[in-house]
A and B are shown apart, each in its own frame.
Chain A
Amino acid sequence: MAKTVLIIEDDNFLQGLEATKLKKEGYNVLTASNSVEAFKAMEGNKIDLILLDLLLPDVDGFMILEKVRQNKNLQAVPVIVFSNLSEEKDVSRATKLGASEFMIKSNFTLDEISKKVKELIGQ
């Protein structure tokens, strides 16, 4: 059965590109543009990995990461923080909150993201 990746990204265009790439690689993809959609998706589905942007319109991604790590059902789910924020304080905060990886969008291609997803949860 295909693994499920939840993409939390408010830029619809980037979200679409990420989703297309991961679907093509055989993953089941769910998308959310804000925290409400994100938590709704997490409640009703078995999620294998979360790709998380940090700058969202309602709350920041750190808050979502914190909630995920506090949730018994989700705390073991790998979370890749995927953002254009790149300051050490952001990386360090995400790492402390339990991010599995921190990737800066502009430094990576979609191939590299999908490779990282595969590395963490397999196909």
Chain B
Amino acid sequence: MEKELQEKVDKLTKLQSVRADIVSLSAHQIRTSLSAIKWIIKMFIDGDLGKLTAEQENLMKKAYEDNDRAISVVSELLLANKAEDVIEKAYNFTEVNLIELIDSSIFDFSGEALAHKIEMIFLKPELQLPGVKADKEKLRIVLQNLLENAIKYSNQYGKVFIALREKNGFIEVSVKDMGIGISEEGKKSIFEKFYRDTTAQKKEALGSGIGLFTTKKIVEDHGGKIWFDSNEGEGTTFFFTVPVYKVS
């Protein structure tokens, strides 16, 4: 009975992995086509292929924006796919250097930040912090989701601040943006699966609504907590904690 159950679990895990690979490969192919479209439209807008009339230029700019939105959707699909794939796997807790992980997550989003004209500022602590007990790949998803939201829901030329401090055996990380904020109604449901706040829908029509749900689950699976402080129209700060690694 136990053997049979294990075989079924193995089969499901394998299928999940195949599904994730198919989604990933398809998304990369779509992204390649969208890149080509992006470059061509930009050539038209820049006049590389001859001067456009004002009407043609406006239409091209609209097409460029729509194409960029499609690229964002595919990027989001890739992140969600990765998150789902990683979440299915068992946790592998090791000592993780949070500063290095944050640095590399910021690097991952540098293109996105540049495109949205957002500056990401990492306020590194002056004193050396201990490592945390975490599953590195899962914790990376937490940082990716929070950074992605901070960029996506900021206004152009906004700033995103990332800070961390040690407190009572935990490291507390904060990601602060100066963006649209969360509505009063949204504050009650923001961590629910598939929930999207009205302010977020106005700014970005498309989104899966699973990012913060996944983020909360991963943080809590680490024994940490997640919460936020937000004012509509002024910005949001997300905080989360991860336990300090202790040598047993």
Q: Which residues of A line the B interface, CB within 8 A?
A: 11, 13-14, 17, 24, 55, 84-88, 91-92, 103-111
Q: Is the CB of B43 within 8 A of A110?
A: yes
Q: Is the CB of A17 within 8 A of B39?
A: yes
C-alpha gap A55/B28 in the complex (Å): 10
Q: Which among B31, B39, B82 is the interface contact of A84 at CB below 8 angstroms?
A: B31
Q: Is the CB of B108 within 8 A of A86?
A: yes
With A88-B108, A111-B46 in contact, is A17–B40 under 8 Å at CB?
yes
C-alpha gap A103/B114 in the complex (Å): 12
C-alpha gap A91/B105 in the complex (Å): 11
C-alpha gap A25/B3 in the complex (Å): 65
Q: Is the CB of A107 within 8 A of B115?
A: yes
Residue on B nearest A84 in the bound complex, by CB: B31
Interface residues of B in 86-111 (CB under 8 A from A): 104-105, 107-108, 111
Residue on B nearest A109 in the bound complex, by CB: B42
With A11-B32, A55-B28, A86-B78 in contact, is A109–B108 under 8 Å at CB?
no
- Cβ–Cβ < 8 Å partners of A24 in chain B: 48
C-alpha gap A84/B36 in the complex (Å): 11
C-alpha gap A24/B46 in the complex (Å): 14
Interface residues of B in 30-50 (CB under 8 A from A): 31-32, 34-36, 38-40, 42-43, 46, 48
With A91-B108, A110-B43, A111-B46 in contact, is A84–B28 under 8 Å at CB?
yes
Q: Pick the 10 closest A-B CB pairs, nearest first.
A: A107-B111, A105-B35, A106-B35, A84-B31, A106-B71, A109-B42, A106-B31, A110-B39, A84-B28, A17-B39
